[in-house]
A and B are shown apart, each in its own frame.
Chain A
Amino acid sequence: MTAVTAGTAGTTGASGASDTAAAAEQAAYEAVFDAAVAADERIEPRDWMPEAYRASLVRQIAQHAHSEIIGMQPEANWITRAPSLRRKAILMAKVQDEAGHGLYLYSAAETLGTSRDELLDKLHSGRQKYSSIFNYPTLTWADVGAIGWLVDGAAITNQVPLCRCSYGPYARAMVRVCKEESFHQRQGYEALLALSRGTEAQHAMAQDAVNRWWWPSLMMFGPPDDESTHTAQAMAWKIKRHSNDELRQRFVDIAVPQAEALGLTLPDPDLRWNEERGHYDFGPIDWTEFWDVLKGNGPCNDQRLSRRRQAHEDGAWVREAAAAYADKHTGKHGEAQA
């Protein structure tokens, strides 16, 4: 969509007459925006967009970006202990990809006029969140496989529809991210398969990890539809295309046969195929735990945020040095030209 360009909207005089004119102009912009969204056109950074749409996107993209970089921690926890050089290379590359995802997403947020520094400040001060899944610990090597299979798997289920999100830069970032996430998902599955088919101890390690990660993975889709505050508006704006419960069901339907192929069980006695619905039924999710972890009482909330803040503080002198160096050298360059 390029019909209306931001920059003129809202810059009006003080008089009553121009207020009316401004309101009419605003309504015209909104009509163009609504029509573009309805026609499945992409909104681009220079297009006019409602402030609430912008704010909602920034909130979602920021939370997504923060999740990518906080999500590096639980997996980086095993880089130095990876049990074979091949697995070590795969894991390092995966954690590196997540940093790359963070970069794309912070850039997407920048197109909406919000800088990475601003967003990082909000993360560090607890004003913005990241996915609660990363507040769970990685206790064994099998957790790396379980995260790849289930957490990256759930992320893909959430993110594939975002490739068609109404905001262009976010949608395009998601296309790249999803390609890499599906790599991660396959590699995680393959790592778990090796464990499941390995020694008794390895199999037990894999089962234990799946037992611990299954329910938190289902919680990644967010609260049930009747309790989700953001869903309706996000769907109207085509930022979101499916409800939390729809996506959760889609994920369960994919994961159950995969668990069978892995030779592992899922920790839910109520899990069974429902012929009538054409879906797997599953047991109730412990939403008390979900809200509690979200509020900060998860096993690793403090640890993840402290580690992030520490890295940022420890790196302050490095960033200052880079800025000072750039200043000096563009300065010299300027003098030379003058």
Chain B
Amino acid sequence: MTGTTDTLTAAAALALGDDALVLSHRLGEWAGSAPVLEEEVALANIALDLLGQARVLLSLVGDEDELAYLREERSFRNSQLVEQPNGDFAHTIARQLYFSTYQHLLYGRLATGDGPFAGLAAKAVKEVAYHQDHAEHWTLRLGDGTTESHQRMQRACDALWRYTGELFQPVEGLDLDLPALETAWLDSVTDVLGRATLTVPSGPRTGAWSAGAGRQGLHTESFGRMLAEMQHLHRSHPGATW
């Protein structure tokens, strides 16, 4: 049965690893353009934590660089939420709030078990606690700041809401009580948005496409362009080491 277990672990590692890899890349796009110098440091910190997680997870599956640079778009298993373009700072923060809340709950669960991810999750959960704290603080400042920031933050929360359901779809190889995770996530996000004087979005939390979404290798259009940029140099020099 080890073969099957390994395959299942690899499938889960790929999904979680791709989430971390792709979100890290998006956050890396902020370098040099953050609204304040402190945020240059903070966003880079988060991006580096995520990249570290991605490298551990992808290495469970195979060669990290082959996986990051030589797969086609349809083979990536990240959720669509993490690939969404940065947009304005509010969109970046809403994406961080939704994702880090999920990731914190997820790694908290994985860390308590004795599964293949327990070690990684125990370390990552501490990093992610900071990511969540950072997102929460900015959600409060933007939501309860000026009229403009409130409007921008509300728009961002609304726009990304439809990508949050996917996080709680079953992932092959992850044996978790997903409905409980989703309830905890909703409670936490509802609480933060409420304190930020924002309205919990009312729209659907998944798209209508029955074929699936990111976990099935179905991505949004901007993702292909992101990969083109990320993979171009590596692919231009086949077999080279860096």
Contact = CB atoms under 8 A, between A and B. Distances in A.
Contacts of B21: 85
Contacts of B44: 92-93, 95-96, 99
Given A315-B36, A325-B145, A80 B242 contact: no
A165 interface: no
Given A81-B233, A198-B240, A317-B146, A311 B33 contact: yes
A130 interface: no
A59 to B, nearest CB: 20
Given A311-B35, A325-B140, 4 more contacts: A79-B28, A80-B230, A92-B44, A93-B44
Interface stretch (A69-77, A224-232, A236-244, A260-268): A69-77
Interface string A82-113: 11111111001101100110110010000000
Contact of A325 (B37, B141, B148): B141
Given A318-B89, A321-B145, A85 B55 contact: yes
A317 B90 CA distance: 10
A179 interface: no
A311 B141 contact: no
Contacts of A89: 48, 51-52, 55
Nearest to A93: B48
A85 B29 contact: no
Contact of A88 (B28, B141, B149, B232): B28
B37 A99 contact: yes
Q: Which of B37, B88, B142 gathers the greatest number of chain A CB atoms within 10 Å?
A: B37
Contacts of B33: 307, 310-311, 314
Q: Is the interface of B mostly helix, strand, loop or mixed?
A: helix
Nearest to A88: B51
Contacts of A69: 37, 40
A302 to B, nearest CB: 16
Interface in B8-50: 21, 25, 28-29, 31-38, 40-41, 44-45, 47-48
Interface string A316-338: 11111110111010000000000
A63 interface: no
A81 B37 contact: no
Contact of B35 (A73, A99, A318): A318
B28 A92 contact: yes
Contact of A83 (B29, B52, B237): B237
A307 B230 CA distance: 22
B192 interface: no
Interface in A136-180: 141
Contact of A321 (B40, B51, B146): B146
A320 B149 contact: yes
A326 B37 CA distance: 18
Given A89-B52, A96-B44, A318 B36 contact: yes
Contacts of A79: 28-29, 31
Given A76-B31, A93-B44, A314-B35, A81 B230 contact: yes
B65 interface: yes
Contact of A81 (B88, B229, B241): B229
B54 interface: yes
A11 interface: no
A91 to B, nearest CB: 9
B122 to A, nearest CB: 21
Contacts of A322: 36, 141, 145
